[in-house]
Amino acid sequence: MIIGVADTTFARANMGAFAVDELKKHTSARIIRVTVPGVKDLPVAAKKLIEEERCDIVMALGMPGGKDQDKICAHEASQGIMMAQLMTNKHIIEVFVHEDEAKNDAELAWLLEQRTREHAVNVVLMLTRPQDMTKLAGTGQRQGFADAGPARR
């Protein structure tokens, strides 16, 4: 099994390094990492990891900025990531942290790391233990900030 990791130089923390570090704690699968300038470059980077590097699943890591043009950019990138998934029939787990989700740089740095690590665990479960993912169905999981939890307790 091979896991692809694509990240960006635009993000304000080394999301790819967090992903690789977390993946290695949970799996001995081979990891192939690539870095591109920004989120709009992630769809083809992920598609190349799947089609040319034979990855079974890919993490697409990026940080949309807080301005309106960044939000549009992120929406376009998401559309591209979904198109790449449909073209390849492989999951590309999109890990986006919007810069304005955090109230300051310290929280942003924490969120970029925490969301990346939690989605890395999701990737390992989806690839190697999908039945354990199903055990979490409907439990209000979130990545980074606190889980929402189930509506009925």
Which positions lie near ligand RDL, rule CB under 6 A? Answer: 8, 10, 37-41, 62-65, 69-70, 73, 93-96, 98, 101, 115, 142-145
Least Å from the CB of residue 77 to ligand RDL: 6
Smaller CB separation from ligand RDL, 20 or 42:
42
Smaller CB separation from ligand RDL, 13 or 28:
13
Least Å from the CB of residue 32 to ligand RDL: 19
- As a whole number of angstroms, the distance between CA 70 and CA 63 comes to 9
57-62 vs 30-36, strand pairing mode: unpaired
Smaller CB separation from ligand RDL, 20 or 112:
112
Paired residues of 33 in beta bridges: 5
Give the three-class secondary structure for 38. Answer: coil
The distance from CA 146 to its chain's CA centroid, rounded to whole angstroms, is: 17
DSSP codes, 14-64:
-HHHHHHHHHHHH---EEEEEEESSGGGHHHHHHHHHHTS--SEEEEEE--
Give the helix/strand (H/E) hosting 133. helix 130-135
Least Å from the CB of residue 69 to ligand RDL: 5
Smaller CB separation from ligand RDL, 1 or 148:
148
Least Å from the CB of residue 53 to ligand RDL: 19
Task: Select the residue whose beta carbon is closest to ligand RDL and give its number.
Answer: 38
Smaller CB separation from ligand RDL, 18 or 96:
96
Least Å from the CB of residue 52 to ligand RDL: 19
- Which has the closest alpha carbon to 10: 58, 47, 65? 65
